[in-house]
Structure 1
Amino acid sequence: MNSFLQRSSRPYLQLHSSVSLPEGGATPSLHLVVVLCPRLNGHSAVMPYYSSNSKDELHVRYLDGEDSGIVVVGINRPKAKNAINKNLVKMMFEAVEDIKKNKKVRSVILCSLVPGIFCAGADLKERAKMHQSEVGPFVSKARALITEISSNTAKMGLVETKLAIIPGAGGTQRLPRVIGVSLAKELIFAARVVDGTQAQQMGLVSHSVEQNNSGDAAYLRALELAREINPQGPIAIRMAKLAINQGIEVDLSTVFDSLYQSEVNGDGLISYFWGLNVLVTKKSFRLTG
């Protein structure tokens, strides 16, 4: 495991969003957002760790005890307000690859180690210096980020039109698919910033929770959701995610072809009848694959 992925006992002070692991890996993915968390897993609050060393821009922490199987990935670029640059994207994908190798991991929370900031978007200073041939792959990799859980005080928006540019990293394509074309146009054209409550009403986030005094309401909700998901069958979760994500982009015949391919291999039918047998016999079990 790379040096920046060393396990640490340091609790994080964080503002969070989510991570989407690539399909087909050994680890199911989870999309989560958390806002300013002064403690993690019951630990007391500490000041966040800052460093100008590029290797310290990403930290990975594996939770233990009742939260075993949950990984917290922290972004730490305070001077750049956690803007995404090539080095950060590279480290994120290296982190994801390492996490995928750990079959005990069920859920991932991507967070910020910088109080008051989750991510300022792409690092425009760096992008201005990039050759045109580099921009496409960079944007493609950066598209992995998406928001699901928010505090009601969180602020979010695609405000690039204020700079006379359009949203990058697939923003013009992803937002209409989430909240509809008309509303997406309105938000982007007006460079509007919305809070967590408005975002939930639009369908931009799944949950909007009332902020608490310690500022970690969204994190606690994210952790609660991770605890709900962790006991479930990891292969079933991965395939359900694959079916949902790809299913809305293709026609039904393609979806059923994929289903039948799985059943031809035997895995689908075996799992189906095993599940029915457990339901009927009411046997106790622990899902590991």
Structure 2
Amino acid sequence: MKYIKYEIKENGIALVTISRAQVLNVLNEEVLDELDDVFYKIASSGLRVAILTGEGKKAFAAGADIRGMLSFSREQSLAFSQKGNAVFRRIEQLDVPVIAAIHGFALGGGCELALCCDIRLAAQNAVFAQPETSLGIIPGYGGTQRLTRIVGVGNAKEMVYTGRKVDAAEAKEMGLVNHVYSSEELMPQALGLARKIAQNAPIAVRAAKEAIVCGLDMDITDGISLEAQLFSTCFETADQQNAMSAFIHKKECPVFQNK
């Protein structure tokens, strides 16, 4: 791939890096295509966790390619929005957790890319914004929807209407990111979190993600029903039997076999 680096780390952990540091990892159609390809591969790989980051220290992703969008017609802009939304929805609905390791700018489409990940970790130099209204448009990759669900209606409206930048500390305060670290600590902390997730039962983690992500699109009654169904499927697994038996008999938890 030209713009995406894809590595397999230990314990079933994938590292996906947007590699356009010279232009602050801006998202264009080729980047979207390659992100779609790599997360399609991860979905059928048996991996347990993915980490998504941007190359360099200046940006996670500084937005979509404005030069490329300048001459878009309404039809072209609709297709571009739908394409990005399809890729981001694939990431959001991936059957394994995705951790965003964010440093520097996460603006516009870059902020929206972070929003579709399960857990967001930020370096102290991270900056978030949805500045689209200052360019005469609105967020087009799910920003009006995911940001509202994550930080609340008031915070989302203020960010979208004003386009103002939010630093890492404020992002943590409003729930936009889970944790803030120094730039040097960011990737080790992301890998440490990935290892904690990877050591748990993969089938259970996948079921938990499905319950949370799909449940957000349901009312509470349907969400609880989905949770019950997914809870029950875990009892058909050897991992559940082995782990519960070890717990009861005060033995060391076995290594989960994903079956």
Q: Where in structure 2 are the equivalents of 1:127-138 lying within 5 Å?
A: 127-130=69-72, 131-132=76-77, 134-138=79-83
Tell me if the contact between 1:142 and 1:169 (Cα under 8 Å) persists in the aligned partners.
no
Task: Pick which of 199-208 and 278-287 moved more.
Answer: 278-287
Q: Contact 2:32–2:84 (CA<8 Å) still a contact in 1? A: no
* Structure number with larger C-alpha Rg: 1
User: Residues 109-188 of structure 1: matches in 2 within 5 Å?
Assistant: 109-130=51-72, 131-132=76-77, 134-143=79-88, 144=91, 145-147=113-115, 148-188=120-160
Which 5+ residue runs of structure 1 have no aligned equivalent? 5-55
CA contact (8 A) 1:84 1:142 kept: no
* Aligned twin of 1:218: 186
Of 35, 39, 49, the match for 1:107 = 49
Relative CO higher for 1 or 2, CA cutoff 8 Å, sep ≥ 6? Answer: 1
Structure 2 unaligned blocks of 5 or more: 92-112
How big is each residue's C-alpha offset from its partner over 1:5-42, in whole Å with a ceiling of 9 and x where there is no partner? xxxxxxxxxxxxxxxxxxxxxxxxxxxxxxxxxxxxxx
Deviation at 1:181, TM superposition (A): 0.7
In structure 2, relative to structure 1, the CA distance for the partners of 1:260 and 1:230 (3 Å cut) is closer
Provide closer, same or farther for how the CA distance between residues 279 and 201 of structure 1 changes in structure 2, counting only shifts above 3 A. same
- Greater per-residue strand proportion: 2
Deviation at 1:262, TM superposition (A): 4.8
SS of equivalent to 1:122: coil
Matched residue SS, 1:109: strand
Q: 2:233 aligns with which of 264, 267, 273?
A: 267
Q: Is the 8 A contact 1:200 1:207 kept in 2?
A: yes
Contact 2:122 2:186 in 1 (8 A): yes
Q: CA RMSD in A?
A: 2.3
Distance in 2, matches of 1:159 and 1:251, equals 31
Segments ≥4 residues shifted beyond 4 Å: 259-263, 271-275
Question: TM-score w.r.t. structure 1 length?
Answer: 0.70
For 1:230 and 1:59, the matched residues in 2 are separated by 21
Partner AA of 1:60 in structure 2 = Y
Aligned to 1:74: 17
Verify the 8 A CA contact 2:81 2:141 in the aligned structure 1.
no
Identify the range of structure 1 (133-142 vs 154-163) with the bigger mean alpha-carbon deviation. Answer: 133-142
Tell me the CA shift for residue 220 of structure 1: 1.8
In structure 2, the residue matched to 1:204 is 176
CA shift in 2, pair 1:228/1:127, >3 Å = same
Q: What do the CA deviations read for 1:100-123 (whole angstroms, capped 9, x no partner)?
A: 3322x2221112223412211111
Following superposition, the deviation at residue 238 of structure 1 comes to 0.7
Task: Find the partner of 1:190 among 146, 152, 162.
Answer: 162
The percent of aligned pairs where both chains have the same amino acid is 29
| Cα displacement (A) at 1:191 | 1.2
Cα pair distance change 1:220/1:288, threshold 3 Å: same
- Show the counterpart of 2:200: 232
